[in-house]
Amino acid sequence: MPTHDILVAGCGIYGVTAALELHARGHRVAVIDPGPIPHPLAASTDISKAIRAEYGGDEEYTILMEEARPGWLAWNEEFGETLYHEWGITMFTKGEMQPGGYEYESYQLCKRRGHPIERLNADEIRRRFPAWNADLYTDGYFSAHAGWAASGRVVEVLAEKARRVGVGLYAGQTADRLLRDGDRITGVQTREGETFHAGTVVVAMGTWSWLLAPELRSVFKSVGMPVVHLKPANPSLFSPPLFTGWAADVARSGWYGFPYHPQAQVVKVGFHGPGPELHPERDERVVTDEDIRRLRAFLAETFPALADAPVVYTRRCLYCDTFDEHFWIDRHPTLAGLVVAAGGSGHGFKFGPIFGGLIANAVEGKEDGRLRKFRWREAPAGARGQEASRFHG
C-alpha cells in the first residue's frame, strides 16, 4: 500500500469527519475500517441519535453544541436531504425541577444563552404532549433548537463524500497492530494481511480502540446499553407536534428516546446509564428479558399508550466510555505519530460537524482551547462519570 500522510483507523463519526477535514487541509489521507460502512456494530450506526445542547451546568459542551448546530443545518443543504430533523426535544421531570438537577441547570444555562426554550407545567404538558403521563411528569421544558439525526445515514453520506473528494477508503481492513520504529508509530498491520504506512495514525475505532492501543484499557471500557424499537398503535400520538425527542427525568431514570420515525415506522427508546461491561468482539450484544421488563415498567408509568407496543427490533449499543465520560482527542504522550480520537461515552455523535476540526487540530498540534477537556489524562482513584444527563445509579 502507498504511504499516506495520515491513516485513520475507523470510519465512524470521529474517523470520517477527521478524514474529510484533514484532506481539506491538504494532507494525503486514507481510512481503514472492517466494513461495511457504516459498520453495523458501531455506536454511530442506528436510525437516530439525539441532537441537544443540554448539559446541565457544563457550559463548555453547550457552547460546543452551539458551534455544531449550524454544521448540521449545513449538511442538510449540502447533501440535499434531511439528515438532521430539528423537531425539538422535551425534558420533563417527576415533580418540580430543582437547583442542581440536570433539567433545572440545563434550562437555566440555555435560557441565559438565548436558546428558544419554554418551561411547561403539568397542564401544558398534558395539552401539548398528550402521550406523556402529566400526573407524574409535572415540570420541564421544550427546547426548539434540538432534534435527532439519521446517524447511520450521516456516516454513509460522509463516507461517500470522502471517496468522491479523494480520501483513500479501504473497507474490509481491520486494524490489528500498530507498526513502530522505536518511539514512533509508522502505520498499521491489518488482520487481513495488508500493511498501511503513514506519518500519523489516528485511532478512531470507538469501542474497539483499546484493542489496537492497549494502554487505553486503563481509561476506556466498553459498556452495553439496550436500545428498543417499538410499533405504536397510534403513530400520530407519537409524532410531531404532539411528540418530539425526549428525556424522562433522565439523570435519575436513564430513559430517553425519539418520536415516531417516518421511514422505520417505530418509536425508539434507549437507556443512558450503567450497563454491563462487554468485550467488543468476544461477547454477545443482546438485549435481555430483564431489559425489556424494565422498559415495560417505565413505559407503563410514562407513556401508557406505548406500554404494550410490540417490540420490532432490539440492539445493545456498545459505548466507548472514558473514566470521566469526556471525549478523548489528543496525541499520544510518548509515541510520536499516534493520535487517539474516541471515547464518545454515549453522547458524542451530536458534535459530528465540529469533530473533524477538533481532531485535525490535535493531529497538526494546533492550539485549541476546546481540546483541553479531551486531553490525554490519567484516571484518578474513585473517578466517576461526569456527563450530566447520564443516570449513574
Per-residue pLDDT of 149-183, as tens digits, reads 999 999 999 999 999 999 999 999 999 999 999 99
DSSP code of residue 115: -
The 3-state DSSP class for residue 49 equals: strand
Instruction: Tell me how far apart the alpha carbons of residues 230 and 306 are, in angstroms, rounded to a whole number.
Output: 8
| Cell numbers at 53, concatenated | 445542547
Tell me which amino acid residue 255 is: W
Percentage of the chain exceeding pLDDT 90: 98
pLDDT at 1: 60
Cβ atoms within 10 Å of 349's Cβ, excluding its own: 22
pLDDT, residue 64, reads 98
pLDDT at 388: 98
> Over 80: is that where the pLDDT of 273 sits?
yes
Provide φ and ψ at 295, rounded to 5°. Answer: -65, -45
Collapsing DSSP to helix, strand or coil, 228 comes out as strand
Helices (H), the chain: 13-24, 59-79, 102-112, 122-128, 151-165, 209-212, 250-253, 289-302, 352-364
Task: Average the pLDDT over 302-314 and give the result.
Answer: 98
Q: What angle do CA 31, 37, 40 make, to 5 degrees?
A: 130
Q: State how far the Cα of 386 lies from the Cα of 366, in Å rounded to an integer.
A: 27
d(CA 393, CA 385): 11
In the chain, what are the domain boundaries? 4-44+152-219+323-374, 86-148+221-322
Euclidean distance between CA atoms 110 and 117, whole angstroms: 7
CA distances from 330 to 63, 90, 254 (A): 20, 34, 29
Out of 3.50.50.60, 3.10.150.10, 1.10.10.10, 3.30.1330.40, select the CATH number for domain 4-44+152-219+323-374: 3.50.50.60
Note the pLDDT tens digit of each residue in 109-127: 999 999 999 999 999 999 9
Q: Which three cell numbers stand for residue 355?
A: 469533530
| pLDDT tens, residue by residue, 66-101 | 999 999 999 999 999 999 999 999 999 999 999 999
pLDDT of 2: 64
292 bridge partner residues:
none
Rg (C-alpha) for the chain, rounded Å, is 21
pLDDT in tens, 330-373: 999 999 999 999 999 999 999 999 999 999 999 999 999 999 99
Q: How does DSSP classify residue 277?
A: B
pLDDT given for residue 353 in this prediction:
98
- Preceding peptide of 232 cis, ω within 30°: no
What pLDDT is stored for residue 12 in this prediction?
A: 97
Q: Which residues contact 286 (CB under 8 A, 6 or more apart)?
A: 314, 316
pLDDT at 44 over 90: no
What letter represents residue 196's amino acid?
A: F
- Cα-Cα-Cα-Cα torsion 365, 368, 220, 178, nearest 10 degrees, comes to -20
Residue 68 grid coordinates? 455544531
Q: Torsions phi, psi of 23, nearest 5?
A: -60, -45
> Is 86-148+221-322 in the same CATH topology as 4-44+152-219+323-374?
no
The second-level CATH assignment, the architecture, of 86-148+221-322 is: 2-Layer Sandwich (3.30)
Mean pLDDT of 251-272: 97
Cell 468476544 sits on residue: 282
- What is the model's pTM? 0.97
Q: What pLDDT, in 10s, does the model give residues 211-230? A: 999 999 999 999 999 999 99
